[in-house]
Chain A
């Protein structure tokens, strides 16, 4: 990479924006079809009643809330990881940050739709918003769902800001090279960026402030998601360990999603010269740490429940370990620990392919984890007379598939409209590496040309 000149970097990273292939359009059409199917399923659910989903008494939350927690968890990929790496001044992060931050924005938007999809009356979701209404009541601020609403909206606003701020110089770069309508659109997106040194300094300090501010926001979001469960007196939900357990799991699945996204970008956008094995290795090490942390949390949680031997908790405990949910439980343990641990721990296996295999396992495993937190507890709640089970219907499965397709489509569209690797940050790294004057001065001169 050291051999690349600033001009080469610009050309390489702007190339994906210059056109679309037939393969791209085919994939887009297929994914759009899945999304349309999901919208039809949701429409059918509203028309016929939410009874077309598989939820039942006593399992009132199923796939929808599983997906909610899963996607919100995935959203911890970007903002948190990129903020921590920025603050730690890890220089290898430069090609990674933007594709991480954009996962956050899209995963969060998708995750936030699930509490609405799952409502009995989705058209009344706006009652969560505090506004002076004819009904004369505010939302109930004691409810963790209302905390969710505020936490997620805060996180969405801050992660969008965190994504858009460092995009400004790149938007201006495209603006300066474009003509016609394209120029107009990118002019708006660049927000009048001129590349003056004053603007550079402001951008630097804004990013510093955002990186610090976004970390507590991200931690609070998944803590509050965990409190949706931990606040209710339900066996194996009512646990003090839940907030850190959920945050660790969120970062875990977030890194995995980031590795998969990076591998796909590398292959399809031909970014082999920018997303190097070093990046996958470093993220793989982070994933290894999180895998160990995840195992530690699950072990600590299960051990205390087993040792405590409380009557209401044991049916849930055994249902997951040896009972009807045990196949899912052991698949989860395999995907989240037994598979990724050796791959990531052995240096020879920690290749790009290796980390992608481990990450795929983790994404599946973490989805199962969310399911196994929610459903077994509800189906084995206190009075044995009301024990029950849960099976999703085609409606829930279609909507779930639709959100994965939506994530892919949003990511594909983004990668074709915005350079997925931050051009100016890479150039700045090149300049720093060559021991030249400070980055912003050099890039500022370029912008002024």
Chain B
């Protein structure tokens, strides 16, 4: 059975603490571009917490929304890549092959979620972050695109382990760094092709919505939220 990895993010639980952002940086060897470059819009965050305010002062509500690659089933980033650097894996991930990428940046323009990032320079880390690079994740050089992989190195490690023990991957066994680090357990990761997995169950919740679902990109990340999210009254 081919897995279809997916994620559910409960916006009613998210506190906007950004632990997921930090964990992602540490796990995936994401370079810290420095203050100057960040101010020029070159910061790389495979997951970011978007912050929106609703209402007029003083009656203001703050809403947080973690946004990462939605691993779309009909991903606009994939067909536009001239060199197949951006492609669809069997397990439904939007793969990004760094060695194939020649840096047209077309995928980033086509992505409606703006979750693709470009290496404007060779990667660098402020000390002492340069001492903690993850050996399981390749470092990306100047001129290539990168983005969230759903921590594919963890997925692969668990699949190899499960195969060695001649069993299926257990639900909840795989945790991407963001999911693992979430203090309010707002994020759940798992196999959407297994109807009994927690992620499948939550994805069918009546609070479930897709980000920009109207574009037909078929995202594999589902957001849970009460109706109030778009400015209505609490229900």
Chain A residues in the interface with B (C-beta under 8 A): 48-51, 55-61, 115, 118-121, 124-125, 127-128, 135, 137, 139-140, 142-146, 149, 228, 231-234, 378, 381-383, 385-386, 388
Contact = CB atoms under 8 A, between A and B. Distances in A.
Interface string B117-150: 1111110000000000000000000111100000
Nearest to A385: B50
A233 B110 contact: yes
15 contacts: A51-B142, A60-B105, A60-B118, A61-B105, A119-B104, A120-B118, A128-B82, A140-B79, A140-B82, A142-B79, A145-B104, A233-B217, A383-B50, A383-B112, A383-B212
A60 B48 CA distance: 19
Interface in B96-113: 100-106, 108-110, 112-113
A142 B144 CA distance: 20
A122 to B, nearest CB: 8
Contacts of A48: 121
A127 B102 CA distance: 8
A137 B106 contact: no
Interface stretch (B3-11, B21-29, B34-42, B172-180): B34-42
Given A119-B103, A142-B79, A232 B122 contact: no
B41 A388 contact: yes
A381 B112 contact: yes
A140 B76 contact: no
Given A60-B109, A232-B76, A232-B109, A119 B102 contact: yes
Contacts of A58: 41, 108-109, 114
Contacts of B212: 382-383
Given A50-B120, A56-B41, A57-B114, 6 more contacts: A49-B142, A57-B43, A58-B41, A115-B104, A120-B102, A382-B112
Nearest to B77: A232
Nearest to A57: B41
The residue among B40, B67, B76, B122 with the most chain A CB atoms within 10 A of its own CB is: B40
A120 B109 CA distance: 14
B42 A57 contact: yes
A140 B83 contact: yes
Given A49-B122, A60-B109, A382-B112, A139 B51 contact: no
A146 B84 CA distance: 11
B82 A385 contact: no
Main secondary structure of the interface of A (DSSP, over half): loop
B81 interface: yes
Given A120-B102, A232-B80, A51 B108 contact: no
Contacts of A125: 102
Contact of B106 (A59, A121, A128, A143): A143
A378 B105 CA distance: 12
Interface in B32-63: 37, 40-43, 48, 50-52
A57 B117 contact: yes
A404 B79 CA distance: 34
Contacts of A388: 41
B103 A383 contact: no
Interface string B83-100: 110000000000000001
B114 to A, nearest CB: 4
Given A50-B103, A135-B100, A145-B82, A57 B118 contact: yes
Nearest to B44: A57
A145 B43 CA distance: 27
A146 B81 CA distance: 9
Contacts of A135: 100
A120 B40 contact: no
B2 to A, nearest CB: 22
B1 interface: no
B215 interface: yes
Nearest to A138: B84
A449 to B, nearest CB: 55
A50 B143 contact: yes
A49 B121 contact: yes
A180 to B, nearest CB: 47
Q: Which of B105, B121, B217 has the most CB of A within 10 A?
A: B105
Which of B101, B117, B120 has the largest number of chain A CB atoms within 10 A? Answer: B120
Contacts of A57: 41-43, 108, 114, 117-118
Contacts of B101: 120-121
- Of the candidates B112, B113, B145, the one having the most CB atoms from chain A within 10 angstroms of its own CB is B112
A121 B79 contact: no
A143 B215 CA distance: 19
Contacts of B37: 51
A139 B82 contact: yes
B81 A140 contact: yes
Contacts of A234: 109-110, 112
B103 A121 contact: yes
Closest A-B pairs by Cβ, 6 of them: A120-B103, A120-B143, A51-B120, A56-B41, A60-B105, A386-B114
A61 B109 CA distance: 8
Contact of A121 (B52, B120, B144): B144
A121 B112 contact: no
